[in-house]
Amino acid sequence: MIEAKDVRFTYPSGVEALKGVTVTISEGDFVAIMGQNGAGKTTLVKHFNGLLKPTKGKVLVDGIETTKVSVARLARNVGFVFQNPDHQLFGETVEDEISFGLRNFGFEKTVVGTRVTWALNLLALAQYRKTSPFMLSGGERKRVALASVLAWDPKILILDEPTIGQDYQQKEKLRQFIMQMQTQKRTIIIVTHDVEFVAECNPRVLLMSDGQIIADDEAAQILTNTKVLEQASIVPPQIAQIFLDLPELDLPKHIIDVYEARNLLLNLLGKEKSG
């Protein structure tokens, strides 16, 4: 469980990035943090694994204040995958990269081997085992960074912009993977601009603007609320937008799913006579 209590954070440059954030993320939650560039999303999640400490207020992870433990100890439970994989990768081969964390946490050699293979297969990277991460495409490097954190199986997983540069199939795999983690009571926190991805996953959404959380609700509620979306520089997903463009039809408001939209419209439009 993560508890942020009136967290304020000012960067050394004087920029006040968080202006009093209070939020609780429970074990097994799936949360998407959304908002415009510079809203404080990444600053907030960096508090969850202790990379940043609040200027005022406090952050507790499983009841322990982040100022009281080292980042290295927190990392065992809170895995963090950065937005830009190049800030994270340094290994000579993809295999080295993925095994690094495992070796650091003192896993046995045989366990390291199986975990690495598991992570490589999960993220469709097996063919690159002996390749330098820097030979790979942006989207592939991003998957290496994710694999290297998943390998040690942290209880809480923070993914900063996981869908950037990923194609539709990779996104679909990521979605299924998150769902699978959910069944194991893992906590997943993603920071993302990808409204279509959020619409498909339907997580709890924390909407941020100017260093504060301005809305905290289910995705279907927030992604159809044009007032708060505008404040956060987010455009509604396409399905929501279709319904927003047709106010005269007096249809239910909170539709973000293609199949739900189909059912509603099929009733309305009627079917062609078959045969």
Residues at the contact surface with other proteins, assessed by CB under 8 A: 35-38, 83-84, 135-140, 161, 164-172, 193-196, 199, 232-235, 237-239, 241-242, 245-246, 249, 258-259, 261-262, 265-266, 268-272, 274
* Residue nearer to other proteins on the CB measure, 153 or 257: 257
* Residue nearer to other proteins on the CB measure, 31 or 195: 195
In DSSP notation, 27-45 reads: TT-EEEEEE-TTSSHHHHH
Nearest to 35 by CA among 257, 239, 213: 213
User: Residues 150, 72: contact at Cβ < 8 Å?
Assistant: no
Encode 95-126: b = buried (16+ Cβ within 10 Å), e = exposed: bbbbbbbbeeeebeeeebeebbeebbebbebe
* Residue nearer to other proteins on the CB measure, 70 or 137: 137
Residue type, 2: I
The nearest distance, CB 275 to other proteins, in angstroms, is 11
The nearest distance, CB 74 to other proteins, in angstroms, is 27
The nearest distance, CB 244 to other proteins, in angstroms, is 8
The nearest distance, CB 80 to other proteins, in angstroms, is 18
* Residue nearer to other proteins on the CB measure, 156 or 219: 219
Residue type, 90: F
The nearest distance, CB 33 to other proteins, in angstroms, is 12
The nearest distance, CB 218 to other proteins, in angstroms, is 19
Torsion angles phi and psi, residue 22, rounded to 5? -125, 120
Torsion angles phi and psi, residue 225, rounded to 5? -100, 95
* Residue nearer to other proteins on the CB measure, 72 or 268: 268
Quick one: how far is CA 61 from the chain centroid?
Answer: 18
* Residue nearer to other proteins on the CB measure, 115 or 141: 141
Judged on CB neighbours under 10 Å (0-12, 13-18, 19+), 247 is exposed
Would you state the structure tokens that stand for residue 102, as one six-digit string?
Answer: 């495992």
Torsion angles phi and psi, residue 186, rounded to 5? -75, 145
The nearest distance, CB 154 to other proteins, in angstroms, is 25
* Residue nearer to other proteins on the CB measure, 148 or 209: 209
Tracing tokens 């679909």 back to the chain, one arrives at 172
